[in-house]
Chain A
């Protein structure tokens, strides 16, 4: 049924820290590796080692330049399904293959009933769904539904593959319906925000803004402009001495 389940008791999702993401794409490859053998399997590639490679990925990392409060910043920006509370990608589906789980809010595509009409991908403003031309069905982030409840995995591995792979801890997984969960507290503390909130789909996934460099204490102290800093050997010390003598 592609009608929305309404308020779900759990809202499982990701919190992505744009301050610590270094744009290494480890989450992308880890996601691909798990999901090409998991719920969404396969994630087909075309010409993967050739001149025009393409394929279905469930997670993409952009890099942007921008100005925040007058400072130039580089921001790496992972983009995947946000498991919205009220998304059109579910309601436009003519077959019921695209659905939102009532128990935990995960948005999934049933690969056995999807007819591959691509309308759900048209309805998503985030470009989060990718069609698999070989499989003939739509692919999207499953929040690693086959990991997070998987009792054959050690408990510490019951997290989405992207979260496990992130080397800087920029991705966190949890229940955003629970105000006391670690992810909810982090969102409240850091001023987590929605992507394209004007659209009104109420994304569950939140993003944390880059920290203000002034308060983060990472503003480099400028080196004196016209002095040789920290001469390393006798010759440099001699040049520095001459430089100082001539300058005075």
Chain B
């Protein structure tokens, strides 16, 4: 599948933003209003900037961005529409919480707004994952782990971001470092399991089924329908990076999980180095998510490519 660059940037940026909102919301829910508003306000605003940048960039790959507002209408059937509705709805508790943080005196409703913020962020991330996971035409995406991986990676980058903001304001929370480490480990475990599963997945459909002629076997393309690649081949047959999947997976594991974990350990053991270690962990994890998202597209095979002679199924399952 062709990776839409704007969608990769969108899911990386807004993923981190929603992750940040999730941990900020949970902290507010559990600890109540913070003594110092500045770190929480910064986290809330930065999350909003990331989410908004992501949502804006997601419209760049549209043929008609000026019509994007129409995408809020079909939430009954479409996960993409649900994502849009959830994303916009999540701005409401974020805005309310912003007021609660900023206005003097203890306004009521902080807990409720925080809970709504966490739920909104989780639902939006879930919808993003389901856009891919609901497509039966792409076996690598049509997988139960896909939406949870989207949530786990958002939670991991969001926790790193919140820890970095805290350190920048001179406050440290060992629990947050632990939370970030746990989210990274959970993400690594899920991603590793996902790769193992798709590698051995048998081909769900064959060219024989795609052609459908009863009793036909040994089908192979003789003449192509067109001399140059068309939209279907460029979009569904895109494979740049697939040959290097092994190397890119190792890069993902290193950048997204290993390096940030090492940095977290350093930050926990040598607090003086936190201000260097945590931003580095964040940058590394961000780059790791970008590689992971590219691979998520490049390794995905589309059923329609059967007609062009491609085979489905995992790398190890395809081998005779």
Where the two chains meet, the residues of A that have a C-beta atom closer than 8 Å to any C-beta of B are 1-3, 18, 23, 28, 52-57, 60-69, 73-75, 77, 79, 88, 90-97, 113-119, 121-127, 130-133, 135-137, 191, 193-199, 207, 209-210
Contact = CB atoms under 8 A, between A and B. Distances in A.
B209 A115 contact: no
Contacts of A196: 205, 209-210, 212, 303
A115 B71 contact: yes
A135 B63 CA distance: 8
Contacts of A90: 77
Given A63-B222, A79-B225, A198 B232 contact: no
A131 B220 CA distance: 27
A26 to B, nearest CB: 14
A28 B78 CA distance: 32
A209 B213 contact: yes
Interface stretch (B13-21, B36-44, B131-139, B161-169): B131-139
A79 B63 contact: no
A150 B255 CA distance: 60
Contacts of A64: 211, 219-222
B52 interface: no
Contact of A94 (B63, B71, B226, B303): B71
B81 interface: yes
Contact of B226 (A60, A119, A133, A137): A60
Given A95-B73, A196-B209, A127 B232 contact: yes
B82 to A, nearest CB: 9
Interface centre among B134, B214, B215, B217 (most CB of A within 10 A): B215
B174 interface: no
Contact of B228 (A23, A54, A65, A133): A54
B214 A93 contact: no
Contacts of B304: 124-127
29 contacts: A18-B213, A54-B230, A62-B224, A62-B225, A62-B307, A63-B221, A73-B216, A75-B211, A88-B134, A88-B135, A88-B136, A93-B74, A93-B78, A94-B72, A95-B70, A95-B71, A95-B81, A96-B73, A115-B64, A115-B67, A115-B70, A116-B64, A117-B80, A127-B232, A130-B230, A133-B63, A137-B64, A198-B205, A198-B209
Given A66-B216, A127-B307, A91 B236 contact: no
Contact of B68 (A55, A115, A118): A115
Interface centre among B64, B81, B224, B302 (most CB of A within 10 A): B64
Interface in B208-264: 209-232, 235-236
Contacts of A96: 70, 73-74
Interface of B: 1, 61-65, 67-68, 70-74, 76-81, 84, 131, 134-138, 205, 209-232, 235-236, 302-305, 307
A116 B63 contact: yes
B228 A197 contact: no
Contacts of A95: 67, 70-71, 73-74, 81
Contact of A209 (B74, B134, B214, B305): B214
Contacts of A209: 213-214
A217 B228 CA distance: 39
Contacts of B76: 1-3
B225 A61 contact: yes
Nearest to A28: B225
B219 to A, nearest CB: 4
Contact of B77 (A2, A53, A77, A193): A2
B70 A113 contact: yes
A67 B226 contact: no
